[in-house]
Amino acid sequence: SQRVFSGVQPTGNLHLGNYLGAIKRFVELQNGFDCIYCVVDLHAITVWQDPVELKRSIREVAAAFLAAGVDGSKHIVFNQSQVPQHAELAWVLNCVARLGWLNRMTQFKEKAGKDRENASVGLYAYPNLMAADILVYRATHVPVGEDQKQHLELARDIAQKFNNDFAASIAANGLAEKFFPQPEPLIAGPATRVMSLRDGAKKMSKSDPSDASRINLTDDADQIAAKIRKAKTDPLPLPESVEELKARPEADNLVGIYAALSDGDAASVLNAFGGAQFSAFKQALVDLTVSKLGPINAEMKRLVADPGHIDRVLGDGAARAEAIAAETMTHVKDIVGFVRR
Ligand code: TYM
């Protein structure tokens, strides 16, 4: 069977990159798959989080999923710490993954920065927990932005090594040879890597100190308009062809955003705006962005005002997620050779 899993960290400032690269795709995939969408709070604490702020942020990400159109009754929406099997499987996978594999992870190097000795052990082991998130549901498809590609390749390597290392035991327990399926990354569409509005060479990110670099899902219409009008561009009009666009990172980014929000592609956007001045294109982009994000923003506000409702959705989702995860863990314990209760 085909199962989608993906996660978003509750670390504040959900932005247009998170929406276009991930959450909007989550919504689209609901028609073809059984979907599990997780607020990954265990991942968030790999760097210090203020406890009060973390709690608020967990509910806000859940609200963003629901406001964007994720159906928490047909599919599963929950927060990671409510399902203990994530951490449990992560430990087993810590013992499968190799130091050399983790040493290659570019995101750890970026996040740890120069003071690597002072990074948490959790930040280093983070990709193993991410592999556990996916594999504990034996998910087959994982929609993410481009920046998660390396982590997904690692998850595939871990799945394969587990299946190989324990091949005899998997067979002895009467389980399918490919106990863990190879999770397939779904990284597609015009906005797999949304860039900063201030610098076409940097990705749009929660941690950029400049708030003008990103459009937050909580921004109102005036903030969205101001940020898009101020977005960095080159002085030329919009190009006529996608080839020319590729050489102009800031233009490419804004066209990609327009394409994703309008469910088109770069070619269809250039068809409409090729040769236009940026002032005109930016106004159209403001209107489109406000019309798409406005309703999501309003619904998020409505939802976070009722944390009791969100907590019920999360609790109900966690119970259903745990039923799946517990079955996998039972098998994993048999495969590894633990004595079960
Ligand atoms: P996170 O919380 O940093 O980001 C959530 C999702 O948003 C995507 N994204 C972007 N897409 C396009 N352009 C951007 N500028 C941009 N910035 C972020 C991310 O690729 C991601 O899909 N490690 C993950 C969370 C995670 C996870 C998982 C994902 C934990 N376990 C299992 C998939 C499966 C992360 O930190 O995402």
Query: How does pLDDT run across 263-307, given as a tens digit for each residue?
Result: 999 999 999 999 999 999 999 999 999 999 999 999 999 999 999
Q: List the binding residues for L-tryptophan.
A: 133
CA of residue 149 to ligand 1 center, whole Å: 10
Residue nearest (by alpha carbon) to ligand 1 atom 18? 18
The β-bridge relationship of strands 184-186 and 34-39 is unpaired
Task: Quote the mean pLDDT of the chain.
Answer: 97
Q: What is the C-alpha to C-alpha distance for residues 124 and 108, in angstroms, rounded to an integer? A: 6
What average pLDDT score do residues 31-37 get? 97
Strand, helix or coil at 299?
helix
- In this model, does residue 196 exceed pLDDT 80? yes
Model ipTM over 0.95: yes
* DSSP state letters, 118-131: GS-HHHHHHHHHHH
Q: What is the pLDDT of residues 325-337, one digit of tens each?
A: 999 999 999 999 9
- The residue-averaged pLDDT of 4-28 equals 97
**C-alpha of residue 192 to centroid of ligand 1, in Å:** 10
Buried b (16+ CB within 10 A) or exposed e, 271-301: eebbeeebeebbebbbeebbebbeebbebbe
Residue 141: pLDDT band with limits 50, 70, 90: very high
Separation of CA 189 and ligand 1 centre (Å) = 15
Using one digit for the tens of pLDDT, what is the confidence trace for 82-122?
Answer: 999 999 999 999 999 999 999 999 999 999 999 999 999 99
Q: Can you give the pLDDT at residue 90?
A: 98
109 in catalytic set: no
* Kind plus residue range of the DSSP H or E element containing 60: helix 51-68
List the residue whose alpha carbon is closest to atom 5 of ligand 1.
8
Q: Whose CA is nearest to atom 31 of ligand 1?
A: 130
Kindly state the average pLDDT of the residues 139-162: 98
Residue of 55, 161, 202, 206 marked active site: 206
Q: Of 144, 146, 153, 194, which is best to mutate to test ligand 1, by the most ligand atoms within 8 angstroms of its C-beta?
A: 144
Ligand 1 centroid to residue 220 C-alpha, Å: 23
Annotated binding-site members: 9-11, 17-18, 133, 145-147, 194, 203-207
Q: Quick one: which atom of ligand 1 is closest to the CA of 9? A: 2
pLDDT band at 1 (very low <50, low <70, confident <90, very high): confident
What would the pLDDT profile of 231-240 be if each residue is shown by its tens digit?
Answer: 999 999 999 9
Residue ranges for the binding site for ATP? 9-11, 17-18, 145-147, 194, 203-207
- Give the ligand 1 atom nearest the CA of 143: 22
Residue 13 confidence (pLDDT): 87
Q: Residue with the nearest Cα to atom 36 of ligand 1?
A: 9
Distance 67 CA to ligand 1 centre (A): 18
Token pair belonging to 30: 């609901």
CA distances from 91 to 12, 84, 335 (A): 27, 11, 15
Centroid of ligand 1 to alpha carbon of 105 (angstroms): 15
Task: Tell me: pLDDT of 252 over 90.
Answer: yes
161 is catalytic: no
Kindly list the protein residues whose Cβ atom lies closer than 6 A to any atom of ligand 1.
Answer: 5-9, 17-18, 21-22, 40, 43, 130, 133-134, 142, 144-145, 147-148, 151, 191-194, 203-204
Q: Summarize pLDDT for 51-92 with one digit per residue, the tens.
A: 999 999 999 999 999 999 999 999 999 999 999 999 999 999
| Nearest ligand 1 atom to alpha carbon 191 | 12
Given this model, what pLDDT does residue 341 score?
87
Spatial CA neighbour of 1 closest among 216, 199, 209, 176:
176
Q: Is the pLDDT of residue 210 over 80?
A: yes
Q: Is 114 a catalytic residue?
A: no
The residues with which 6 forms a beta bridge, in sequence order, are: 37
Taking residues 4-32, what's their average pLDDT? 97
